[in-house]
Structure 1
Amino acid sequence: MTLVCVLTYTFEIVFGLAGTILMLPLLSHLYPSKTLVIYSVLPQILVAVIGLVRSPAKVDRKFMAGMLLFAGFGAIAGFALFYYFSASVFQVLLASAITAAGLFLVIAPHRAKFNPAGMRVMDTLAGTSQALFGISGPIAMTRLLATYREKNTVRHYAFAFFLAMNGLRATEYAIHGTYTGEILEMMAVSAPFLAVTLWFSNQLHLHVNERIFRRVVSWMILIGGLSLFYR
């Protein structure tokens, strides 16, 4: 499990998305989907913290506050649905969400355009998806790419968004008593390896051919989502 997470979240710290989307299909035959979604809060926080600490960019607090406000509204619905759905229904919904994300990344243009209302809808959907599935990268990145042109700026804002939303997830799980002994053990064992690997792999984003790599991973996400329907 630790090796899979090291590989998938290395991709996320380099490109700003898809760590959890890639991890879930690879490990869902070993662990329940909900267990993996809850566990994913740890590597996502590590990715965001390390990515922000090692980046010289700054975040516009007013912009981020507006984005997080609407994402918070969406997260309320996402948390309610997370605890409402049975494990079998959740598996189907998760597979559908990952497949849709992969399909979008494969066929969508590189730069979408939204009016202000459309951006707030995207913020809300990102919050709902993050709370329900532990995944908001494709939605949040599409919204940020429509706002900023420079790759490193988009990556930095994505990490700021993910840190805030996963901090909310971690807090909600603690309040609700969602963490189990198994999940805490998984976190304790993998955390040191993830932290060290992510700290050094952060610099890879300066050297990797992003366009080709994203195209390959888009197909990986799509195939991974489809595979979840047959587990």
Structure 2
Amino acid sequence: MAGRRRWSTEEILDAAAEMLRTSDTESFSVRKLAAVLGTDSSSLYRHFRNKTELLRAVADRILLSAMDGYRPEGDWKQRILTMARQVREAFGQHPQLAAVWARYASGGTGSRLIVDETLQALRASGLPEEQIPLCYHRIAVLIAALVASEAGFATVPPEEHEQGMEQFRVAVLGADPERFPALAHFARDIRPLGGDREAAFEEILAVQLAHVEALAGTR
């Protein structure tokens, strides 16, 4: 009888990424992945010690894909904006993994490329060296939070999304002006959290970069 096929690390990650396109991380398991590959869990544990390590590795591949073709062009702000857009776009194609990245982070090559490029861009901004690590952390947290938040909306089933929109309309447009005077006043201009995410992403990140620029200007 022929022995079981030996799967490479890359093949395992490919299969895991494909599974996570249609299932959430909570229901994902090494056992289920092994079943898809026609092997047993022990063979996968030779590559990854546990589920968390596997998920981190899959998320890091998304970061690697985000950096594929990236070139550090423009000033320091443009470099960070371009990189952030590419990370957003990459996780937009794999929304289930955005929460994994935000929750577990990653120490792989993709993560290191992004950290290094952000630090290099911040050095080019003129910030004092001692302020660069903190500014990097603020930018990283902001990008991860925005990407994960947007991905959360992307994974909501259509019927649940419509229910949420109906609840939003009732809560906002039907607000009692005596109890919620400001809400009633701005009701027709308030947008749901899922609306115009791209513009929100750009503007919020731009505010943080403007803060960095102001810090650099006070040097």
Q: Provide the TM-score with structure 2 as the length reference.
A: 0.29
Say which one has the larger Rg. Answer: 2
> Which is helix-richer, 1 or 2?
1
Q: Provide the TM-score with structure 1 as the length reference.
A: 0.28
